[in-house]
């Protein structure tokens, strides 16, 4: 055989393998067709939430829409939990096991975009679903309802709970729900996230503390009597200067970023108030807290040196994700059974057009067809350099998630491209991949108590003996006005 023939054979075998249909049980086929039958309905819900694009703790309409859907399906809904008006828990069934599914629905301020493959901001909007949480919410609700249907049909004992969790983006909504003990009776929690690929790896994330540092000085005419003023902006700038020098002397995998949220109004008035909003992240909570303490010292020093009064408010704080490998394997198996997203010709055109905007410098030129694949399972100490309040949940109950290709391959989270895809049929297709994978996984857990036992013992071991949960944001009340 020539090399050419060999290659031909290898490619042929590979495509046979790729084309081989995974075997689905009759029960699984029923679950899939049930969800497929309602995908346009869930698509409508997701588009509605995409249109509203409500930011953290202000998701009144989005939260109500999902609650309404669950109530209609026979769930009992408890709204306004953990001191958060837009948080809720919907429950169906009774007894053990209790499987929870997380649903997010907050948008990001400052990024708007139409559902087009080219940049087209919407001036009338203030926020956009650049993290795809308009899909996250309805996708999880779709799964909870499918699981409920299965419980009803089979008469199995068990409880399915859908947690409506607001303000993931910087508001740490879930932390208050964890602090309130809302996951105490839950055996396993499932979640997912919109992405540009399909995967279910036991990856972790960065723990995070966020805070607003406020400086108060004395206003004065900046030219006529500057000596009588004390600039609050000087306080902010001195703090930033010290933090930026500090970067040289902290573990290099720390992330620190800030924006000046108040810096005065006019150059000829010495500002008597200024505010800077900081994030600090590290995968290790001990290192994080150490760097955080040094940041507070810099803020105190800045206040001292500029004769301004400094005070700070911790806005958010989240744990790193604690993965459970056995659960990730289970999720990966189910995601592989479900398979990825296949684009229609119009969707392919959309994806190719959008691909032109990515630029080679990001090294992310990828083919739309990749949305159809599922990334191979990897347990290679994966770290996402993002943070999520799912982290806190994962330290009080075994938790597992997946990523589903709701965005054109190559899309970065928090980008206009992510907003665009999240508002199209491409987003809905990815959302349904997630809903199906979550449902399969929940059903597996209901059917086989050994899976839950194994997850619990792996999780206990990963968590370490003597672990006691303590929220990184302390005992503050939910920062309901952090986006105001
Ligand atoms: Zn996000
Ligand atoms: Zn997100």
Separation of CA 340 and ligand 2 centre (Å): 20
The per-residue pLDDT for 21 is: 59
Whole-number pLDDT of residue 361? 52
CA of 471 to the centre of ligand 2 (A): 20
C-alpha to C-alpha distances, 90 to 16, 43, 152, 159, 347, nearest whole angstrom: 44, 21, 16, 10, 34
Residues belonging to the chain: 484
What confidence score (pLDDT) does residue 364 get?
Answer: 54
Q: What whole-number distance in Å separates Cα of residue 422 and Cα of residue 195?
A: 10
Quote the ligand 1 centre to 192 CA distance (angstroms). Answer: 12
> Distance from the CA of 382 to the center of ligand 2, in angstroms?
18
The contacts of residue 304 (CB under 8 Å, 6+ apart) are none
Torsion of CA 379, 203, 103, 99, to 10 degrees: 50
Specify the pLDDT at position 365: 63
Look at residue 6 in the predicted model and tell me its pLDDT. Answer: 45
> What pLDDT, on a 0 to 100 scale, did the predictor assign at position 380?
74
The per-residue pLDDT for 453 is 98
> pLDDT value at position 23?
87
Domains and CATH numbers, the chain: 3-204+320-463 (3.40.630.10), 207-317 (3.30.70.360)
For residue 108, give the ligand nearest its CA.
Answer: 1
- At residue 371, φ and ψ (nearest 5 deg) are -65, -20
Give the Å distance between the CA of 378 and the centre of ligand 1. Answer: 23
Give the helix ranges, DSSP H, for 252-386: 285-306, 325-338, 345-355
Query: How many angstroms separate the Cα of 313 from the Cα of each of 120, 193, 277?
Result: 36, 29, 10
Q: Are strands 188-195 and 98-103 parallel, antiparallel or unpaired?
A: parallel
pLDDT of residue 381: 67
pLDDT on residue 312: 98
- C-alpha of residue 481 to centroid of ligand 2, in Å: 20
Q: Give me the phi and psi of 457, to 5 degrees please.
A: -70, -40
Both tokens of 185, joined, read 């009776």
CA 169 to ligand 2 center in whole angstroms: 7
Question: Which residues of the chain carry a pLDDT beneath 50?
Answer: 1-19
Any idea what the Cα angle at residue 223 is, between residues 218 and 227, rounded to 5°?
A: 45
Centre of ligand 2 from the C-alpha of residue 446, in Å: 27
Ligand nearest to the CA of 170: 1
Would you state the pLDDT for residue 164?
A: 98
pLDDT at residue 12 in the model: 44
119: CA distance to ligand 1 center in Å? 20
């Amino acid at each position: 055989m020539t090399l050419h023939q060999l290659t031909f054979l290898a490619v042929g075998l590979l495509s046979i393998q790729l084309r081989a249909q995974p075997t689905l049980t009759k029960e699984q086929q029923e679950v899939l067709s049930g969800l497929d039958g309602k995908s346009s309905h869930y698509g409508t819900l997701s588009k509605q939430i995409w249109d509203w694009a409500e930011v953290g703790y202000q998701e009144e309409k989005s939260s109500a829409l999902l609650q309404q859907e669950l109530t209609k399906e026979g769930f009992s809904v408890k709204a306004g939990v953990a001191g958060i008006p837009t948080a809720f828990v919907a429950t169906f069934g009774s007894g053990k096991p209790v499987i929870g599914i997380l649903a997010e629905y907050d948008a990001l301020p400052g990024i708007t975009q139409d559902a087009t493959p080219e940049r087209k901001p919407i001036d009338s909007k203030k926020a956009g679903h650049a993290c795809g949480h308009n899909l996250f919410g309805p996708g999880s609700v779709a799964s909870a309802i499918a699981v409920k249907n299965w419980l009803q049909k089979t008469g199995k004992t068990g409880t399915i709970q859908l947690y409506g969790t607001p303000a993931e983006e910087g508001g740490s909504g879930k932390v208050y729900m964890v602090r309130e003990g809302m996951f105490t009776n839950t055996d396993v929690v499932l979640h997912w996230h919109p992405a540009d690929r399909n995967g279910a790896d036991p990856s972790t994330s960065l723990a995070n503390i966020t805070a607003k540092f406020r400086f108060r000085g004395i206003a004065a005419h900046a030219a006529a009597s500057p000596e009588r003023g004390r600039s609050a902006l000087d306080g902010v700038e001195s703090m930033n200067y010290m933090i930026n020098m500090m970067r040289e002397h902290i573990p290099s995998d720390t992330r620190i970023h800030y924006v000046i949220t108040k810096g005065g109004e006019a150059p000829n008035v010495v500002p008597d108030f200024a505010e800077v909003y900081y994030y600090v992240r590290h995968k290790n909570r001990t290192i994080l807290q150490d760097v955080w303490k040094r940041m507070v010292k810099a803020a105190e020093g800045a206040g001292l040196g500029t004769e301004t009064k400094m005070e700070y408010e911790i806005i958010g704080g989240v744990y790193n994700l604690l993965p459970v490998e056995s659960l990730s394997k289970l999720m990966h198996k189910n995601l592989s059974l479900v398979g990825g997203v296949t684009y229609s010709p119009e969707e392919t055109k959309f994806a190719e057009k959008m691909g032109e905007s990515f630029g080679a410098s990001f090294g992310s030129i990828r083919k739309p067809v990749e949305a159809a694949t599922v990334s191979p399972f990897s347990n290679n100490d994966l770290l996402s350099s993002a943070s999520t309040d799912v982290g806190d949940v994962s330290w009080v109950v075994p938790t597992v998630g997946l990523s589903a290709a709701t965005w054109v391959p190559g899309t970065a989270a928090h980008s206009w491209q992510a907003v665009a895809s999240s508002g199209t049929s491409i987003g809905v297709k990815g959302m349904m991949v997630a809903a199906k994978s979550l449902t399969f996984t929940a059903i597996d857990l209901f059917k086989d108590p050994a899976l839950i036992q194994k997850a619990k013992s792996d999780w206990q071991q990963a968590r370490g003996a003597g672990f006691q949960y303590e929220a990184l944001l302390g005992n503050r009340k939910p920062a309901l006005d952090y986006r105001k």
